[in-house]
Every structure is written in structure tokens, then in C-alpha cells.
């Protein structure tokens, strides 16, 4: 058994898809704009996500009140909705800031490691954590 797909609620799946692929560098696993359906995957993985244990990430529309409440409550509390692993948080922080991404603060180290949190502009805070 393996984890195949998870989701993150977003305000606008098409805009989130553009940001997550164009700015963050993920790849499209499935895009069906007519159904507001967008699934992304780690860059460089095959369709099944077999390389590096990749998991599909569904950019879930927050048009359901339960999803919208959850997404908004996390954002209002300043909590990341998802964590992405990167080999070098400082390098990603620099690259993404140059691309216009807004971070809550500079990379910081604590007992869990080095991390930084940014706003995806789609209703979520996202944490980068150094692998």
C-alpha cells in the first residue's frame, strides 16, 4: 500500500495550477479545466509517480463550505496547509522571492530543521522544509 494522492483546498484551481507549475516547478499530472480539475506531481516523475515516491496533489476547489472553512481557518491562524521538502531552503527562498512569492519571514532553524513559510496566493500558507 502507498499514498497515491492528497489534496489541498484552493480558491481557484486554475490559478493555483498556474502558480504551482509555473512558479514552484511542479508538473501537471492531470488538467481538465472544463471540470475545474487539476492534479500536479513532483517534477521529473513518471505518470504513476514511481520515481522518488511521488504523490499526486489535487488542487481542490474550495467551493464546498467545509473545505472553504478549513482552508480559511488554517490561513487565518497562519498555519501551513502543506509542507514541501527541498534540499536547500535558503536557495528556494531566494529563487521564489525573486519570482515575487511572499514569505512570512526568512528561513529559520528550530528543533525540526530549517524551514520557511510562504503564501501561495490561493488561500494557503505553504512550508518549505529542508530535507
Per-residue model confidence as pLDDT tens digits over 2-24:
889 999 999 999 999 999 999 99
C-alpha to C-alpha distance for 12 and 68, rounded to whole angstroms:
11
For the chain, which residues score pLDDT lower than 50? 49-50
State pTM to two decimals. Answer: 0.90
Estimate to the nearest angstrom the gap between the alpha carbon of 88 and the chain centroid: 17
> What is the H or E stretch that residue 73 is in?
helix 65-77
Amino acid at each position: 500500500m502507498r499514498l497515491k494522492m492528497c489534496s489541498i483546498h484552493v480558491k481557484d484551481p486554475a490559478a493555483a495550477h498556474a502558480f504551482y507549475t509555473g512558479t514552484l516547478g511542479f508538473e501537471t499530472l492531470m488538467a481538465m479545466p472544463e471540470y475545474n480539475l487539476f492534479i500536479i506531481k513532483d517534477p521529473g516523475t513518471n505518470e504513476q509517480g514511481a520515481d522518488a515516491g511521488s504523490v499526486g496533489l489535487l488542487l481542490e476547489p474550495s467551493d464546498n463550505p467545509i473545505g472553504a472553512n478549513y482552508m480559511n481557518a488554517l490561513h487565518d491562524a497562519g498555519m501551513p496547509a502543506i509542507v514541501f521538502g527541498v534540499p536547500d531552503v535558503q536557495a528556494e527562498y531566494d529563487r521564489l522571492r525573486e519570482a515575487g512569492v511572499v514569505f512570512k519571514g526568512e528561513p529559520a532553524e528550530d528543533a525540526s530543521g530549517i524551514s520557511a513559510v510562504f503564501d501561495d496566493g490561493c488561500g494557503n500558507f505553504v512550508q518549505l522544509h529542508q530535507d
